[in-house]
Amino acid sequence: MSQTLFKRIIDREIPAKIVYEDELCLAFEDINPQAPTHLLVIPKKEIASIAELGEDDAALVGHLLVVVCKLAAERKLSNGYRVVANSGPDAGQTVPHLHFHLLGGRAMSWPPG
């Protein structure tokens, strides 16, 4: 099985504008931003999508969301922000590695798509 784009970013085989890293996760700027702030927060553990989460991943997902909140605060997204996790091709997931999009810096419309 070949490595995903995100695994290659974690392994520093592909450059990215990394804005946060700890032992569990990595956050970086999206290369095709859909808002003034568009970051991706990914676990270092390889999980294909939110649909593949197990009960043993609960603490990891909680950590990822705490990191999202920290990054939103650092970027002063006090008027609000959106957190998105696509699961599968029909939802628009293009990289089979769990990731949360942090979008902010502009008003978001609803429904999203």
- pLDDT tens for 84-112 read 999 999 999 999 999 999 999 999 998 87
Give the pLDDT confidence score for residue 78 in this predicted structure: 94
| Integer Cα distance of 90 and 77 in angstroms | 29
CA nearest neighbour of 50 among 7, 86, 90, 83: 86
Say what the pLDDT of residue 113 is.
Answer: 60
DSSP 75-105: TT-TT-EEEE---SGGGT--SSS--EEEEES
> What CA–CA distance (Å, rounded) separates 102 from 37?
7
Neighbours of 89 (CB within 10 A): 9
- pLDDT at position 94, please? 93
At residue 111, the pLDDT reads: 84
- What is the distance between the alpha carbons of residues 63 and 108, in angstroms, rounded to a whole number? 25
Low-confidence ranges of the chain (pLDDT < 70): 1, 113
Task: Identify the pLDDT of residue 14.
Answer: 95
What pLDDT shows up at residue 12? 96
Please pick, among 38, 63, 99, 101, the residue that the annotation labels catalytic.
99
- Report the C-alpha gap between 66 and 84 in whole angstroms: 14
> Regarding the domain with residue range 5-104, which homologous superfamily does it belong to in the CATH classification?
HIT-like (3.30.428.10)
Query: Beta strands of the chain (E only): which ranges?
Result: 18-21, 25-29, 37-43, 81-84, 100-104
Q: Where are the domains of the chain?
A: 5-104
pLDDT at 112: 76
Residue 99 falls in the annotated catalytic set: yes
